Amino acid sequence: MNAGFPVARPRRLRRNAAIRRMVAGTRPHPAELVLPMFVKEGISDPQPVASMPGVAQHTLDSLRKAAGEAAEAGVGGLILFGVPAAKDAVGSAADDPDGILQKALAELSADLGDAIVIMSDTCLDEYTDHGHCGILTPEGEVDNDATLERYASIAVAQARAGSQVIAPSGMMDGQVGAIRAALDSAGFSHLPILAYSVKYASAFYGPFRDAAECAPQFGDRSAYQQDPAGPVGEALREVRLDLDEGADAVMVKPALAYLDILRQVRDAVDVPVAAYQVSGEYAMVEAAAANGWIDRDRVIMESLTAIKRAGADLILTYWATEVARRLP
Ligand code: PBG
């Protein structure tokens, strides 16, 4: 064979760690990670979530400690989910000023100030006895417009308690506009909305329903969340509507199985795009690693790198604190 053949040798840029480091184009940074956290009312010790090893339902005290650790590690934000002691048909605890999430928001904002961005998930499924993300009609359907009034009230309660970003996740039509209007008239025009714009009816949410105790008691969420096989233009339409209604940033969820959608959204908009690496994505890695079947730490970094490469500016991940500590 001729000396000098082949001319193109991509391996030249892979020869050693120094050169690979220099040319690496995708570097997750702690500031772009967001840690989802669960706080439960009426427990005296944190409760491990069986299907999410390493994740707990927190008490107010353990939440403050874990949130402080995330801030210390340089994690950019956290997003809080409340698990109330009592549920009812309209999710009354969700906008109760003394509700668990509002208490948690107040304590964390007093503790942490602006050391980390404190966000709140705005939805009803953790608070309703039927486990759906909205108010039901007598026929048992989720009533879109009645639910919007609840979301508006919940968002204002969260804002009053100290939430710094409102993140509506219920997939009702018009939810961003309804929340924007309510926040503005309550004096919170400065608070951003991170819209869960593209949210699929995904089996990857399974473990979350243990963590947030919100499995629907009948039916499923496919009448409001997107069909994984749905029209390909649907994701972009949802994003466009949310931006028209005033969303400041948008989200795609889940992450790894929807990287194509994430890339389309990233290319289409001029606002930050978040991706949510959801409970099932976490659980699969932890379960395989516990069996010794994969290299846990490398799989975590590889999946986060892939999500970033596909276009995420922010990544919600249950590994946020651990990964932030590990990043250079
Ligand atoms: C709804 C909500 C869900 C998740 C975040 N917000 C559950 C659902 O839609 O069923 C799932 C997150 C995860 O699986 O990690 N409030």
ipTM value, please give it: 0.96
Q: What is the pLDDT of residue 22?
A: 97
In a domain, 225, yes or no: yes
Is the distance from the beta carbon of residue 253 to the nearest atom of ligand 1 less than 6 Å?
no
253 given a catalytic annotation: yes
> Domain range spanning residue 74?
28-326
Q: What is the pLDDT of residue 2?
A: 64
Total structural domains within the chain: 1
The answer to whether 77 and 34 are in contact (CB under 8 A) is yes
Extended strands (E) in the chain: 33-40, 47-48, 56-58, 77-83, 117-122, 165-168, 194-199, 249-253, 273-276, 314-316
Q: What is the pLDDT of residue 4?
A: 78
In a domain, 86, yes or no: yes
In a domain, 20, yes or no: no
In a domain, 3, yes or no: no
Is the distance from the beta carbon of residue 123 to the nearest atom of ligand 1 less than 6 Å?
yes
Distances in Å between the Cα of 128 and the Cα atoms of 58, 86, 175, 214 are 20, 9, 18, 8
CA of 206 to the centre of ligand 1 (A): 9
Pairing type for strands 56-58 and 47-48 reads antiparallel
Give the Cα separation of 205 and 258 in Å (integer): 14
In a domain, 14, yes or no: no
Residue 292 zone, left/alpha/beta (φ > 0; ψ -120 to 50; rest) = left
Give the Cα separation of 299 and 295 in Å (integer): 6
In a domain, 13, yes or no: no
CA of 208 to the centre of ligand 1 (A): 6
Give the Cα separation of 52 and 70 in Å (integer): 18
In a domain, 17, yes or no: no
In a domain, 149, yes or no: yes
Q: What is the pLDDT of residue 328?
A: 83
pLDDT in tens, the chain (328 residues): 567 789 999 999 999 999 999 999 999 999 999 999 999 999 999 999 999 999 999 999 999 999 999 999 999 999 999 999 999 999 999 999 999 999 999 999 999 999 999 999 999 999 999 999 999 999 999 999 999 999 999 999 999 999 999 999 999 999 999 999 999 999 999 999 999 999 999 999 999 998 999 999 999 999 999 999 999 899 999 999 999 999 999 999 999 999 999 999 999 999 999 999 999 999 999 999 999 999 999 999 999 999 999 999 999 999 999 999 999 8
For the domain that residue 187 is a member of, what is the CATH number? Answer: 3.20.20.70
Residue 187 zone, left/alpha/beta (φ > 0; ψ -120 to 50; rest) = left
Residue nearest to atom 14 of ligand 1 (CA): 205
CA of 38 to the centre of ligand 1 (A): 12
224 is in an annotated binding site: no
The answer to whether 37 and 79 are in contact (CB under 8 A) is yes
Is the distance from the beta carbon of residue 169 to the nearest atom of ligand 1 less than 6 Å?
yes
Residue nearest to atom 16 of ligand 1 (CA): 123
Give the Cα separation of 28 and 21 in Å (integer): 13
Whether the full predicted model's pTM is greater than 0.95, yes or no, is yes
Is the distance from the beta carbon of residue 221 to the nearest atom of ligand 1 less than 6 Å?
yes
